[in-house]
Structure 1
Amino acid sequence: MGDQVFQLERSWYIGNAFFAILYGLQLSMYFQTIYLSLNTSEGSRRTRTFNIVFSTALLCFITVALACNLFFGQAMWIEHRDFEGGPAAYFGENIAAWYNTLGTAADVTANVLGDGMMLYRCHVFWGHSPLAMVFPVLLYLGSVAMGITTTIQSGLPSGDFFKGTAVNFGIPWLVLTIVFNIVVTAMIVTRLLSVHYRVNKVVGREATKRYTGLLAILVESALPFTVLGVCYLALYVKEIPESLAFADIWGAFVALSPQAIVLRIAMGGAWTKETFNRLESGMELSVIDNATNDLEGDRDAKSRSSSSHV
């Protein structure tokens, strides 16, 4: 029993530490996004405005989630350290406190926004096939409904997000959210690899890195978020203390992954509908091919110039 108590406390502490580190990364990407959106002409004015509003909303929600976690840790370890049964007992008695429910609601809302971004990005990649979007849309709506229900259940008196009745709603929510991300990730990666194969045959590997390189696949598909979600679900279902740490880390990536996509959009390196339209018509291939030929021509000219001087 003692070991399990310490595991719970360690897990909560480690989770908060990683959450704080990832929050710093979130802040860095946020300010880069704002700077690029305000000081460059990349994308339309509507897109730049969306980048600012969406990024600010994500940052606000994830800030509330982190602040609530840290406040609960302070109450558990410092202000009420003499609570009968120790910090673990205080944790069990106060996990449904209003500030914890607020933190859960903030994280769930950030997840709704992030999944909405992924749904839109999937539409960008598969917009030519509306039928392909039916299943992801249904998963998204189910995930939103279960996320709201889980938040309400965990906030009821004697509620606990990590065990009891709330888990009966939390597991379906996590399953729907993670299955949604697996499906959307698979769809986006499939399209990226398909385009990579097509473009690579025409212009070569170096010229396609911006569109279909490893970084593009990781960011556009939010693959790290999906993998972390699978790990978190496996621990959450077993109701073991280590799930607390993964809850915080996964909760940070709820905002971090969509923020990375928005930053990529602000930098002008993200896929858009226009990108696919140009690729479908062959225009993008021609542009890349011409740029590659120009680059090679410049190199040849420099080589000939050097030879003539010798």
Structure 2
Amino acid sequence: MSESSYATVESWKLLWYERAVNAAAYLGAMGYGLHIAVFYSVTTIILRDKERRGWVWLPFASSLFALGTVNIACSINFNQLAWIDERNYPNGPAAFLLEQQNRVSNLTAIVTSVIMLILADSFLILRCHLLWKKIYITVFLFVVLLASTVISILHSIQVAHPARIFEDSLSFSLPYASLAASLNMLITLILFSRLIDLRRRLSLTMDATTRETYASIPALIIESAFPAGIFSFVFVVLYSVHNSGAVLVFPLLVQIMGIIPELIVLRIAQKRAWSMDIIRAALPASPATLRNRMGRSGIETAGHEVSMVTLNDNGSKDSVVLKAGRDFVQ
């Protein structure tokens, strides 16, 4: 008795692509579940603050979460169209996924991911400026972000109007993916290097509790946006070699770009984030030292600088570090 097979008759490469797209929706949903938990924690901490100092961050966190919600919902809907609603599309679901990318659900998913990356990168660039205070670093990062934004707009137009405005040979998908991912990796590198340097310099002047709060490994991972840098690196490598594994990474990357800024906002709301207060409190207060270590030149006198962080009567810094993390920017 012969056994009949119902296996899909497709090339291995095409079959792997379909599997990757299907699994990507589940991975994105898992990332969104984590996003829900983080957003709940952020809103709970902010709303419980009686002084309402963290309420300014609520619209930002809510925008990231809303974009993440719409993104995953539209991605799931596009998959539903391919696998269920229009499964009899000529040449199967893979052809639908490749040829019908101008569907509203897919376009919305693309646009929300672009907006989320712009918001997240802008926030992280401001964090770079806070920690470095180097205008050339900030300007360079914003120029790269602007270039990435322009290419993302062109990419969205190309997806919405395939072969109408641009020639088939001109594709903006790879330049956009490469530039956006490279910006994420660059931001992570800049933040991580600065935080490692500050951790080394401040370890001798911090007490154990404060050191655990600001210089622990989890704190460095969150505040340097390390997960975003790693996922961006994996994504751009896979995408550049046209490996379908990039499809698996991208939904997670989108949610991570919403989660990381929200985790930093959570630390800000808890007064546990790196700020100029903690740097001034822990570093020696002499003008020369501050100029050398922080790259600042406008410090007139030590008294002017110390007035921003009031010491207690016995000169201890314990009362100072409790004030640290109060502000996002000074």
User: Do Structure 1 and Structure 2 share a fold, with TM-score over 0.5?
Assistant: yes
Corresponding position of 1:76: 82
Following TM superposition, by how much is the alpha carbon of 1:56 offset from its aligned partner in structure 2, in angstroms? 0.8
Equivalent in 252, 255, 260 of residue 252 of structure 1:
255
Equivalent in 90, 115, 124 of residue 96 of structure 2:
90
**In the alignment, structure 1 residue 152 sits paired with structure 2 residue 182:** no
Give unmatched runs, 5+ long, in structure 1. Answer: 292-310
Equivalent in 61, 65, 72 of residue 71 of structure 2:
65
Following TM superposition, by how much is the alpha carbon of 1:73 offset from its aligned partner in structure 2, in angstroms? 1.0
Distance between the aligned counterparts of 1:79 and 1:263, measured in 2?
A: 41
> What are the superposed Cα offsets for residues 20-79 of structure 1, whole Å, 9 maximum, x if unpaired?
0110111111111111111124xx74x522321011101111111111110011111111
Following TM superposition, by how much is the alpha carbon of 1:275 offset from its aligned partner in structure 2, in angstroms? 2.4
**Secondary structure of 1:178's match?**
helix
**In the alignment, structure 1 residue 25 sits paired with structure 2 residue 34:** yes
Following TM superposition, by how much is the alpha carbon of 1:229 offset from its aligned partner in structure 2, in angstroms? 0.7
Higher deviation after alignment, 231-240 or 30-39:
231-240
Higher deviation after alignment, 7-16 or 178-187:
178-187
**In the alignment, structure 1 residue 133 sits paired with structure 2 residue 138:** yes
State the Cα RMSD in Å.
2.5
Corresponding position of 1:182: 185
Contact 2:72/2:109, CA 8 A, preserved across alignment: yes
Equivalent in 28, 50, 60 of residue 54 of structure 1:
60
Following TM superposition, by how much is the alpha carbon of 1:93 offset from its aligned partner in structure 2, in angstroms? 2.2
**Secondary structure of 2:162's match?**
coil
Identity of aligned residues (%): 23
Given the superposition, is the C-alpha separation of residues 198 and 241 from structure 1 closer, same or farther in structure 2, using an over 3 Å criterion? closer
Equivalent residue letter for 1:69: S
Number of aligned positions between the proteins: 283
> What are the superposed Cα offsets for residues 124-165 of structure 1, whole Å, 9 maximum, x if unpaired?
1012x3233232222122122222222222221369xxxx65
* Structure with greater proportional helix content: 1
Contact 1:15/1:248, CA 8 A, preserved across alignment: yes
Equivalent in 230, 235, 245 of residue 232 of structure 1:
235
Give the TM-score normalised by structure 2.
Answer: 0.78
Given the superposition, is the C-alpha separation of residues 195 and 77 from structure 1 closer, same or farther in structure 2, using an over 3 Å criterion? same
Contact 1:62/1:255, CA 8 A, preserved across alignment: yes
Following TM superposition, by how much is the alpha carbon of 1:88 offset from its aligned partner in structure 2, in angstroms? 0.9
Corresponding position of 2:112: 106
Contact 1:72/1:100, CA 8 A, preserved across alignment: yes
Distance between the aligned counterparts of 1:288 and 1:179, measured in 2?
A: 40
Equivalent residue letter for 2:151: M
Distance between the aligned counterparts of 2:111 and 2:20, measured in 1?
A: 21
Higher deviation after alignment, 240-249 or 55-64:
240-249
Contact 1:5/1:88, CA 8 A, preserved across alignment: yes
Give unmatched runs, 5+ long, in structure 2. Answer: 1-9, 286-308, 322-330
Distance between the aligned counterparts of 2:174 and 2:25, measured in 1?
A: 22
Distance between the aligned counterparts of 2:19 and 2:157, measured in 1?
A: 27
**Higher normalized contact order (CA 8 Å, seq sep 6+, divided by chain length):** 1
Following TM superposition, by how much is the alpha carbon of 1:175 offset from its aligned partner in structure 2, in angstroms? 2.5
Distance between the aligned counterparts of 1:82 and 1:48, measured in 2?
A: 52
Distance between the aligned counterparts of 1:173 and 1:143, measured in 2?
A: 6
**Secondary structure of 2:172's match?**
helix
Higher deviation after alignment, 57-66 or 259-268:
259-268
Distance between the aligned counterparts of 1:231 and 1:205, measured in 2?
A: 36
Given the superposition, is the C-alpha separation of residues 165 and 265 from structure 1 closer, same or farther in structure 2, using an over 3 Å criterion? farther
Equivalent in 292, 296, 317 of residue 287 of structure 1:
317
> What are the superposed Cα offsets for residues 256-300 of structure 1, whole Å, 9 maximum, x if unpaired?
221221222222211123223333455699524999xxxxxxxxx
